[in-house]
Amino acid sequence: MAAKSQPNIPKAKSLDSVTNDRTASQGQWGRAWEVDWFSLGSIIFLLLCAPFIVYYFIMACDQYSCALTGPVVDIATGRARLSDIWAKTPPITRKAAQLYTLWVTFQVLLYTSLPDFCHKFLPGYVGGIQEGAVTPAGVVNKYQINGLQAWLLTHLLWFANAHLLSWFSPTIIFDNWIPLLWCANILGYAVSTFAMVKGYFFPTSARDCKFTGNFFYNYMMGVEFNPRIGKWFDFKLFFNGRPGIVAWTLINLSFAAKQRELHGHVTNAMVLVNVLQAIYVIDFFWNETWYLKTIDICHDHFGWYLGWGDCVWLPYLYTLQGLYLVYHPVQLSTPHAMGVLLLGLVGYYIFRVANHQKDLFRRTDGRCLIWGKKPKVIECSYMSADGQRHHSKLLVSGFWGVARHFNYVGDLMGSLAYCLACGGGHLLPYFYIIYMAILLTHRCLRDEHRCASKYGRDWEHYTAAVPYRLLPGIF
């Protein structure tokens, strides 16, 4: 196993013990090699509770019109027992299993069998064969970027069905929402377990595997860095983008169709949620090549966190606003709707421009203009596990000079806008902003720990030049 073939792997250091000792930091800057008790506790908690959290939210909508406290109050006051709630929960059905199999198979086919043609006619779009970042073992993977094409074809088919073909009802996703949840769980667990077994017995790149010696940590955070089947089927790129993010906009459309069916019209809140989230999704696919350089792809290993998370957590919890609006057809006043739209668009602008600035800066090796000026740079270097020294640069201008993760602030503003579109009637649609705030704060700390290990003193120069992580003067 990889751990045995690398007996002198150093332990991950804490931030304050970071030095510029390049040899010691060699190869240690991916996910942890050893697990502390806090991480282990959190992981076991998530493995045990995350599937129930998802079930609780969806069941609360189905049986209690999205009142989160409804089930707890009913059980506490003896009005219902757990077994009553479970008995009212729709089981997996043959129809849902067929639908889900068809859906995943269609996405696999689009991913593997249809080389990108969008980059041939869409000006400014970068698709086709692209290279990822250097992995800790020094490997550079190639990717077939065709997500935008898959999203476009899937949605074309959806609209063709809704307006011409009538093969299925546009409410089909809502109508099978809980039976589909069981199917998504089966795929999520199957793919995570397969990835774990593959990591031990037939990894794609053994030098990029990590074993902590702790089963739960390995299962959750993954062993293999970039598991693949064949040359092109990359688990991370496929599972994050295709069943999860392509589905996001379709799920919202199905919720809008259900709102119309039940209430006779689609409210402005539902339109706002559909439009703002569609901008985020289309942005993701338009910039799929950029995504190869983000933490999910170039730092995280593929385990339950990504496998189950992409199949279940993302499609079910990122779409709670649309689901809520089916049960509560909120119609916002014009100033409220305009405020939400403005917040969402400004958030998106910051998110996109910040991400674009870093991408442009890295692609041009700093030979570009940021906010009309030559960017300020911190030169840095790091070593990969094969002993190769690499050089890189950290941007200190634009949003990257305002705070070290201002891109997350834009994302959080957009997330808040989706929630505010649902009005103030219930807590459930606000889960998303609470979750994103925790996710992105944790991600920020995790990333900084990694960057400190990777770049050593050069990272300290950056934190001295840009002292705040998210909000200048606050954090």
Closest CA to 57 of 273, 319, 262: 319
13 contacts ligand NDP (rule: CB under 6 A): no
Q: Which of residues 266-305 bind ligand NDP (CB under 6 A)?
A: 294-295
405 contacts ligand NDP (rule: CB under 6 A): yes
What does each C-alpha distance from 395 to 69, 134, 237, 253 come to in angstroms? 46, 19, 26, 39
Give 259 or 355: the residue with its C-beta nearer to ligand NDP. Answer: 355
CB of 307 to ligand NDP, least distance (A): 15
**Extended strands (E) in 342-436:** 377-383, 389-395
Count of beta carbons in the 10 Å neighbourhood of residue 442: 11
**What's the one-letter identity of residue 284?**
F
Give 249 or 268: the residue with its C-beta nearer to ligand NDP. Answer: 249
Say how far apart CA 239 and CA 229 lie, in whole Å.
Answer: 13
**What's the one-letter identity of residue 434?**
I
Closest CA to 148 of 172, 106, 114, 105: 114
Closest CA to 365 of 397, 391, 388, 339: 391
Q: Please select the residue that binds ligand NDP; options are 180, 196, 256, 451, rule is CB under 6 A.
A: 451
CB of 136 to ligand NDP, least distance (A): 10
CB of 2 to ligand NDP, least distance (A): 21
74 contacts ligand NDP (rule: CB under 6 A): no
Say how far apart CA 398 and CA 375 lie, in whole Å.
Answer: 8
CB of 124 to ligand NDP, least distance (A): 19
Q: Please select the residue that binds ligand NDP; options are 411, 416, 420, 456, rule is CB under 6 A.
A: 411
Q: Please select the residue that binds ligand NDP; options are 93, 392, 441, 463, rule is CB under 6 A.
A: 392
Give 196 or 395: the residue with its C-beta nearer to ligand NDP. Answer: 395
431 contacts ligand NDP (rule: CB under 6 A): no
Q: Please select the residue that binds ligand NDP; options are 176, 355, 397, 453, rule is CB under 6 A.
A: 355
CB of 312 to ligand NDP, least distance (A): 14
Residue 275 in contact with residue 256, Cβ under 8 Å? no
**Extended strands (E) in 356-467:** 377-383, 389-395
408 contacts ligand NDP (rule: CB under 6 A): yes
CB of 396 to ligand NDP, least distance (A): 7
Give 97 or 345: the residue with its C-beta nearer to ligand NDP. Answer: 345
What does each C-alpha distance from 336 to 137, 341, 421, 450 come to in angstroms? 51, 9, 8, 41
407 contacts ligand NDP (rule: CB under 6 A): yes
249 contacts ligand NDP (rule: CB under 6 A): no
Count of beta carbons in the 10 Å neighbourhood of residue 447: 17
Closest CA to 152 of 170, 127, 189: 127
Give 341 or 440: the residue with its C-beta nearer to ligand NDP. Answer: 440
351 contacts ligand NDP (rule: CB under 6 A): yes
Q: Please select the residue that binds ligand NDP; options are 311, 395, 416, 452, rule is CB under 6 A.
A: 395
Residue 406 in contact with residue 350, Cβ under 8 Å? yes
Candidates 50-58, 216-224, 336-344, 443-451; binding stretch for ligand NDP (CB under 6 A): 443-451
Q: What angle do CA 279, 280, 286 make, to 5 degrees?
A: 85
**What's the one-letter identity of residue 300?**
D
Q: Which three-class secondary structure state does DSSP give residue 33?
A: coil
CB of 444 to ligand NDP, least distance (A): 8
Give 89 or 441: the residue with its C-beta nearer to ligand NDP. Answer: 441
Say how far apart CA 186 and CA 192 lie, in whole Å.
Answer: 10
406 contacts ligand NDP (rule: CB under 6 A): no
Q: Please select the residue that binds ligand NDP; options are 443, 463, 465, 471, rule is CB under 6 A.
A: 443
Candidates 49-57, 227-235, 237-245, 446-454; binding stretch for ligand NDP (CB under 6 A): 446-454
What does each C-alpha distance from 14 to 128, 181, 298, 448 come to in angstroms? 40, 39, 21, 11
Candidates 8-16, 181-189, 257-265, 390-398; binding stretch for ligand NDP (CB under 6 A): 390-398
Report the interface residues with ligand NDP, using CB under 6 A. Answer: 294-295, 351, 355, 358, 392, 394-395, 400, 405, 407-408, 411, 440, 443, 447, 451, 454
